[in-house]
Homo-oligomer: A and B are copies of this chain.
Amino acid sequence: MIRALILYLLNIKPSHGYNIQRFIEVNGIDKWSRIQSGSIYYALDKLEKEGYIYTLKEERNGARIRKIYDITDAGKEELRNALKKELEKPIAGAESDKFMIYSMINKLTKEEITASVEKHLKVLREKKVWWEKGKKIKITEKSLKLEVLNFDMVISNLDYQIKWHEALLEQLDQVIESDNAQEQLISNVDFSTLNDVNYNDIDCEKYAKIEKFKAKIMQNPTDNLEQKLNEFIKLLTQK
């Protein structure tokens, strides 16, 4: 987004890097986006090498010389493309690697898990307060729906993350128990010989049966598991 933002600003008027940096800082953009004001100079350099911007003139400011950049015709086209590309990107990744962490933590003590989770919960709760305060400040009756949604989306997301970590602590005994069962399962199965489950082809009911079967096995891991699983999957994925 930093490229699009620089091109956007230079398309309005020629500017030096510091001006763009201050735009980002004064508007607090570095507070809620991944854009860091320090990354501007690198991006300006790169955009100039690519021919999207050029040095219009150099200005002396005390001992420093400032380059004033302007956008080129190619840059104007690049701005349009960059904006279209950004419009087609997700606002934030909905999926997360962290969804699997709780199935792997049985090697940590309950105290260690609790300490790490509480530490993160504190950060999440502080963030939520910051965003709620921001909403109070920024949103008026005249605000666009989009602006309201910016805040609601982040606050709801943080809320879910808080609930998730609270649920982890609340059901910690069950989580660890389930981790131990999974460990048993993994030690008994050679995954390299298991067949694939095609998640798109099979219907929900059939797949729900597989899941129940798996859960049953997890409760009492026995020998010959691998063979049983393979047979069961084969049976269920047959049309």
Instruction: Give A residues with C-beta under 8 Å from B.
Output: 1, 4-5, 8-9, 11-13, 16, 18-23, 25-26, 28-29, 31-35, 76, 79-80, 83-84, 86-102, 104-105, 107-108, 112-113, 116-117, 119-120, 124, 127, 131, 133, 136-138, 140, 142, 144-146, 149-150, 152-154, 156-158, 160-161, 163-164, 167-168, 170-171, 174-175, 178, 183, 186-187, 190-192, 194, 196-197, 199, 204, 207-208, 211-212, 215
Contacts and interface: CB of A to CB of B under 8 A. Distances in A.
A152 B160 contact: yes
Contacts of A142: 215
Given A146-B167, A171-B144, A124 B87 contact: no
A100 B33 contact: yes
A9 B8 CA distance: 48
Given A84-B112, A142-B215, A164-B146, A158 B79 contact: no
Q: Is the interface of A mostly helix, strand, loop or mixed?
A: helix
A25 to B, nearest CB: 7
